[in-house]
Amino acid sequence: GRVGLITLNRPQALNALNNQLMRELMDALEAFDKDDDIGAMVITGNEKAFAAGADVKEMAVKTTLQMMDTDHVAVFGRIRTIQKPVIAAVSGWALGGGCEVVLSCDMIIASDSAKFGQPEINLGVIPGAGGTQRLVRAVGKALAMEMILNNRALTAQEALHYGLVNRVVPVGDYLNVAILLADEIAVRAPLAVRAAKRMINHSSESFLADGLAEEKQVFYNLFASEDRKEGMQAFVEKRKPEWTGK
Ligand code: DAK
């Protein structure tokens, strides 16, 4: 019908968001946004993972300057420019950049196996694509602190309890429920739907731009640290990182 469906499809890497995947995701969203036959969109992954974060293997070898130059994950910023509603249908892992993609969507339907987390602290960095700003608005400061400072992941039921997701449904149903919800919204008055989305986002975004700019700068600063290199290298080598505070 009038629903544009986008499926993240790098199952061998739990849909880790590399450059190419992020670009293709944004291109697809923008194409649907321009398409008059589409009224709403659904982004999904597979049962095991929505996305386990930015691709650490790709990131581990980057210098700070390369990160700033290509700013590949700044592609994330393009989600904010999508005017039509975007629903995330999440099962399994939604971690790091994957959780940030979800947080940038307008509604979230979770399967009962979904898990939401911001594990960047394990790599010696912080969320760099809106996590520190959007999570606190979604679940409140206390829980956002625990999730980001101490890698606490939320189960689907916890995410529902704290207001992060709209609904939790059995794993066999989550995608259909998301598509049905998108389908219902897609046939509503297009201008009003877009205006409502814009204004609801405006309520929390007026201070967000400053926060996002600051967050990105802090991310790059941490990217220059030895601990960041150690954290990412340790992941690639499947060992525990040794932090030096440098
Ligand atoms: N990147 C690359 N590969 C990944 C990956 C990731 N994030 N997550 C999983 N994989 C790969 C694994 O390496 C493994 O591949 P092989 O070793 O078999 O080749 C395969 O997917 C299956 O993963 P596991 O064997 O680890 O599966 P398990 O079920 O045992 O564990 C897990 C699942 C999700 C707990 C584990 O895979 C895990 O901890 N993954 C990493 C999660 C993580 O740390 N994510 C946060 C990444 S940092 C920026 C903005 C934002 C960001 C960066 C910059 N700017 C504005 C510049 C975002 C940063 C992040 O997201």
Q: Which two tokens stand for residue 236?
A: 């690639």
- Nearest-CA residue for atom 15 of ligand 1: 13
pLDDT band at 61 (very low <50, low <70, confident <90, very high): very high
156 an active-site residue? no
Q: Cα dist. 66→35, 62, 78, 117, 233 in Å?
A: 34, 6, 20, 26, 17
The residue contributing the CA closest to ligand 1 atom 1 is 55
For residue 35, name the pLDDT band (cuts at 50, 70, 90): very high
**Range from 5-14, 28-37, 213-222 carrying the lowest mean pLDDT:** 213-222
Active site residue 97: yes
Which range (64-68, 87-91, 193-197, 224-228) has the least confidence? 64-68
For the question of whether the overall pTM of this predicted structure is more than 0.75, the answer is yes
Give the active site residue among 49, 51, 52, 54.
54
Res. 132: pLDDT tops 60: yes
Burial level of 122, CB count in 10 A (0-12/13-18/19+)?
middle
Whether residue 79 is predicted with pLDDT greater than 70 in this model: the reply is yes
Give 183-215 pLDDT, tens digit per residue: 999 999 888 999 999 888 888 887 888 888 888
